[in-house]
């Protein structure tokens, strides 16, 4: 653990201008980004009374090895630079809000030739129009079902669409008039796109022209004595009105606002937002985050606004009003930044009285309840996790805190299809985006110890290469070392791991093994294992990461074996070359899936026609043991 006094800038070195600063760890990783009106005053606050800092801030200054700063011309420039660096580096000690649940959106894929309406969660894609978030999820499905009655836009998957197109018969939705069926030419692609644009316009809150058009069509049908058509138009009108009456009106119809509120304790913060459009609450979102330092509602509002609206690909969704419980000190610069993002004026303010202030109180109640629920579910986990990390550090007599643990496991079938996995814990929690899988071939695949030596050599050679050429603005995937290496196995595996690390010059990197038979912890070159108590939280954490590595390795091994078997089964299919064989393998994944598929489904694979698909099925069914 570093001593902040070792890298504290000398008196007078830090300017008094506004700027943005970065704390950097010994491996060149940016771990915290902040901004200040007066850089000298702000940075000195980290070094003058270190023992009185917030626990997370204390950990941050001891994890850092240096601090850098950049002077800017104004606070608006500081906002923009801070946001850019946080997006670029995702510093582990910055407050990074994460959703307390995954909210569904109604999406219209206007980036496709034939747009599709669907319910989507997760990351947003360019060219897709999103509406929501909706809560509860049932609301969005009711909305889609109602809207498709009036605007029968395609909602089927790509596979269903292609099958209908190939067969010349629409799916069930086409028969019950919930889809205009562009797949079979019931509507042209151009007219279907216009239908999708109307769908988008209505969902964006502009139903008036379409309501008036349908009402005029209904009256004309009555005048012409076409009563069945008039009844259909009447039902369409009622369906559209139901979509917009589903949410209660809470404010005037011209209100477009996002209303934020917070609840916090000394360790965590809960944030909630209500999305109000046309005076109705259209959606609700929530976030939970660990606090890095003492921050009031004004500071939390600034950080959340930057994250929410900075990440928003469709800036037209930024509302005219953003209501918060307290104005950030730099609210004028934030307002300017928001207005530039939206392309129109945005009002950032605190509601003082009336319906908006009352609604802010409701949002605050939701934030309080979300924090209470989160603490009830996670408090024991947080306490236990921290205790396990401390206990493990003490048992292994390590000087550095265990911020990152990497575990390696080998999987094979009687020495064939040898693969390995690497899983990662950071702060005691899985970091799945850092998980890695390895294929092992040649001499390295002859036994478990050779495979382990090969994997560790490859992983840490890559670390040495990337750390030698470390670009702070573009760190490599393997550029940061773990605080502890764990291998699945006993004394032979641990000694092999130690040898691999020593050969690379990483003699100070600690390594242990966990043997499955008696759950013993093995240290390099020790003749006797370290036996942890069965009730030890440290042992439980080691078992958890070992089991996760084993699960990840087994999953990869099954995939690799299945693809190899599938590829082998297709070797003798006439007219099926390596490229198309690889495409079929990638699409179906296993012989079982391929055998169950129809010729039409196989023909959906790019480059595989119906004749080739039929030859594939005939070949598989002729194989010995085929069903």
| Tens of pLDDT, residues 244-291 | 654 444 677 778 899 999 998 766 788 998 888 877 777 778 888 877
Taking the C-alpha atoms of residue 419 and residue 437, their distance in angstroms, rounded to an integer, is: 7
Taking the C-alpha atoms of residue 504 and residue 478, their distance in angstroms, rounded to an integer, is: 15
Q: What is the pLDDT of residue 617?
A: 76
Spatial CA neighbour of 521 closest among 550, 484, 483:
484
Rounded to the nearest integer, the mean pLDDT of the chain is 80
4-26 pLDDT, tens digit per residue, is 888 998 878 888 888 899 999 88
Average of per-residue pLDDT across 498-515: 92
609 pLDDT tier (thresholds 50, 70, 90): confident
Ordered alpha helix ranges (H), 396-513 = 448-468, 491-503
475 pLDDT tier (thresholds 50, 70, 90): low
pLDDT at 235 over 70: yes
Taking the C-alpha atoms of residue 449 and residue 573, their distance in angstroms, rounded to an integer, is: 39
**Tokens at residue 17, please?**
């201008």
pLDDT above 90 covers what percent of the chain?
12
Taking the C-alpha atoms of residue 8 and residue 4, their distance in angstroms, rounded to an integer, is: 6
Q: Can you spell out the DSSP letters for 543-563?
A: HHHHHHHHHHHHHHHHHHHHH
3-class SS at 342?
A: helix
- The residue extents of the domains of the chain are 4-94, 105-245, 257-372, 404-554, 570-622
Q: What is the pLDDT of residue 188?
A: 92
371-429 pLDDT, tens digit per residue, is 887 766 655 566 777 888 888 998 898 888 888 999 998 886 555 668 888 999 888 88
Q: What is the pLDDT of residue 473?
A: 53
Taking the C-alpha atoms of residue 69 and residue 37, their distance in angstroms, rounded to an integer, is: 12
Q: Regarding the domain delimited by 257-372, which CATH topology (the fold level of the hierarchy) does it fall under?
A: Nucleotidyltransferase; domain 5 (3.30.420)
139 pLDDT tier (thresholds 50, 70, 90): low
Contact present, 488 and 444 (Cβ < 8 Å): no
User: In CATH, which of 3.10.180.10, 3.30.60.50, 3.40.50.2300, 3.30.420.340 is domain 404-554?
Assistant: 3.30.420.340
Taking the C-alpha atoms of residue 153 and residue 108, their distance in angstroms, rounded to an integer, is: 9
257-372 and 570-622 agree in CATH topology: no
576 pLDDT tier (thresholds 50, 70, 90): confident
pLDDT at 332 over 80: yes
Per-residue buried b or exposed e for 501-537, using 16+ beta carbons within 10 Å of the residue's own CB: beebebeebbbbbbbeeebbbbbbeeeebeebeeebb
Q: Regarding the domain delimited by 570-622, which CATH topology (the fold level of the hierarchy) does it fall under?
A: DNA polymerase; domain 1 (1.10.150)
Token pair 């915290």: residue: 32
pLDDT at 577 over 90: no
Taking the C-alpha atoms of residue 490 and residue 497, their distance in angstroms, rounded to an integer, is: 11
Q: Regarding the domain delimited by 4-94, which CATH topology (the fold level of the hierarchy) does it fall under?
A: GIY-YIG endonuclease (3.40.1440)
């Amino acid at each position: 653990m570093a001593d902040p006094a070792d890298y504290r800038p000398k008196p007078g070195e830090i300017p008094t201008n506004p700027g943005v600063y970065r704390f950097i760890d010994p491996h060149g990783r940016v771990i915290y980004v902040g901004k200040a009106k007066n850089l000298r005053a702000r940075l000195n606050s980290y070094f003058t009374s270190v023992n009185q800092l917030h626990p997370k801030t204390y950990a941050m200054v001891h994890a850092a090895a240096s601090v850098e700063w950049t002077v800017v011309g104004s606070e608006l420039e500081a906002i923009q630079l801070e946001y850019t660096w946080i997006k670029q580096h995702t510093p582990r000690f910055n407050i990074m809000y994460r959703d307390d649940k995954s909210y569904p959106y109604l999406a219209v894929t206007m980036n496709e030739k034939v747009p599709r309406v669907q319910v989507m969660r997760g990351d947003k894609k360019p060219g897709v129009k999103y509406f929501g978030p909706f809560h509860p999820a049932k609301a969005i499905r009711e909305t889609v079902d109602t809207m498709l009655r009036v605007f029968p836009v395609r909602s089927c998957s790509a596979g269903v669409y292609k099958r209908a197109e190939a067969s010349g018969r629409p799916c069930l939705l086409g028969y019950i008039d919930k889809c205009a069926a562009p797949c079979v030419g019931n509507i042209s692609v151009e007219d279907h796109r216009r239908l999708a644009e109307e769908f988008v316009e209505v969902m964006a809150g502009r139903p008036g022209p379409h309501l008036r058009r349908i009402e005029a069509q209904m009256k004309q049908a009555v005048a012409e004595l076409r009563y069945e058509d008039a009844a259909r138009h009447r039902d369409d009108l009622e369906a559209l009105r139901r979509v917009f009456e589903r949410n209660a009106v809470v404010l005037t119809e011209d209100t477009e606002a996002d209303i934020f509120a917070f609840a916090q304790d000394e360790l965590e913060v809960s944030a909630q937002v209500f999305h109000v459009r046309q005076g109705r609450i259209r959606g609700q979102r929530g976030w939970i985050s660990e606090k890095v330092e003492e921050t009031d509602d004004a500071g939390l509002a600034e950080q959340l606004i930057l994250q929410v609206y900075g990440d928003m690909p469709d800036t037209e969704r930024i509302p005219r009003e953003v209501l918060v419980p307290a104005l950030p000190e730099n609210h004028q610069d934030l307002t300017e930044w928001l207005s530039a993002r939206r392309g129109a004026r945005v009002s950032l303010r605190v509601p003082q009285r009336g319906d908006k202030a009352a609604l802010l109180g409701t949002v605050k109640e939701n934030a309080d309840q979300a924090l209470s629920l989160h603490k009830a579910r996670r408090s024991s986990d947080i306490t236990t996790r921290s205790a396990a990390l401390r206990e493990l550090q003490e048992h292994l007599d390590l000087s550095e805190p265990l911020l990152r643990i990497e575990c390696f496991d080998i999987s094979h079938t009687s020495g064939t299809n040898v693969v390995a996995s690497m899983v990662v814990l950071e702060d005691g929690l899985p970091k799945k985006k850092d998980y890695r899988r390895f294929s092992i071939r040649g001499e390295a695949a002859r036994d478990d110890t050779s495979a382990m030596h090969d994997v560790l050599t490859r992983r840490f050679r890559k670390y040495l290469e990337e750390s030698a050429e470390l670009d702070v603005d573009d760190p490599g995937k393997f550029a940061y070392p773990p605080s502890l290496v764990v291998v699945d196995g006993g004394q032979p595996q641990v000694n092999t791991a130690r040898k691999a690390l020593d050969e690379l010059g990483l003699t100070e990197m600690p390594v242990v093994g966990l043997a499955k038979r008696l759950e013993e912890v093995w240290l390099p070159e020790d003749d006797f294992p370290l036996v942890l108590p069965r009730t030890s939280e440290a042992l439980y954490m080691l078992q958890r990461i070992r089991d996760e590595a084993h699960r990840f390795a087994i999953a990869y091994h099954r995939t690799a074996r299945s693809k190899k078997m599938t590829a082998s089964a297709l070797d003798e299919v006439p007219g099926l070359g390596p490229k198309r064989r690889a495409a079929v393998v990638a699409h179906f994944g296993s012989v079982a899936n391929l055998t169950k598929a129809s010729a039409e489904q196989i023909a959906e694979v790019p480059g595989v026609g119906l004749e080739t698909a039929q030859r594939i099925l005939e070949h598989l069914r002729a194989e010995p043991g085929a069903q």
